[in-house]
Amino acid sequence: MAAPLTLLLVVAVTVRAALYRSSLADLISERVEVVSPLTAWKRVVEGLALLDLGVSPYSGDVFHETPLIIYLFHFLVDYAEITFMLADVITAVALYMAVTDYNKQVFRKQKFALEADLYPLDCLELIRSPKEMYYIPLKVAMFYLLNPFTILSCVAKSTCG
């Protein structure tokens, strides 16, 4: 993994951890712009409490997640903040790897087309250089990790997507 990506991941996790520890975390978790009644962490905690009491969390209007989620969070409820941060990190690394693979394919096709003289002369300035292709995956990961909505939904522990 590239050093810039590692630095980006450290910055993103630090921002999320700082927001988790601030007084803003409670405010963020109540905002309807970030969480809905269906995706709020509060609902997951209520569903877990009902499950611990032997009551089906699906018997009322409290819990709307899949059974897999409730049993997964039953084990991870104490580590919820780390779980949500880790999910964002895994998503960013997956995006980085997917874009890197896509860029390799585009570069191969571009190289073949250049060797076969398939590009018109006026389009040669649009061809991506290897340096440009190196930074595209990093930009995609950066736009994901430093997107304010992504940060806020992580801090609010929204279970949506």
Over the stretch 143-156, which tens digit does the pLDDT of each residue have? 999 999 999 999 99
Q: Domain range holding 10?
A: 3-155
Say yes or no to pLDDT of 124 above 70.
no
Judge whether 87 lies within some domain: yes
Q: What percent of the chain has pLDDT over 90?
A: 42
Q: Whole-angstrom Cα distance, residue 115 to residue 117?
A: 5
Judge whether 126 lies within some domain: yes
16-53 pLDDT, tens digit per residue, is: 999 999 999 889 988 888 888 888 888 888 889 988 99
Pick the closest to residue 88 from 38, 28, 17, 33 (CA basis). 17
State the pLDDT at residue 139. 94
Judge whether 161 lies within some domain: no
Judge whether 25 lies within some domain: yes
State the pLDDT at residue 99. 95
**How buried is 153 (Cβ within 10 angstroms: 0-12 exposed, 13-18 middle, 19+ buried)?**
buried
Number of domains comprising the chain: 1
* Confidence bin at 131 (pLDDT 50/70/90): confident
Residue pair 156/35 in contact (Cβ under 8 Å)? The answer is yes
Place of tokens 């709307």: 64
Does residue 14 sit in helix, strand or coil?
helix
Which tokens sit at 114?
Answer: 């250049």
Judge whether 57 lies within some domain: yes
Judge whether 160 lies within some domain: no
Place of tokens 């997107």: 147
Within 10 angstroms of residue 94's Cβ, the number of other Cβ atoms is 12
Judge whether 133 lies within some domain: yes
CA 142 to chain CA mean position, Å: 11
State the pLDDT at residue 100. 93
Helices (H), 22-158: 24-30, 41-52, 67-76, 80-115, 130-145, 148-155
Judge whether 82 lies within some domain: yes
Average pLDDT of the chain?
88
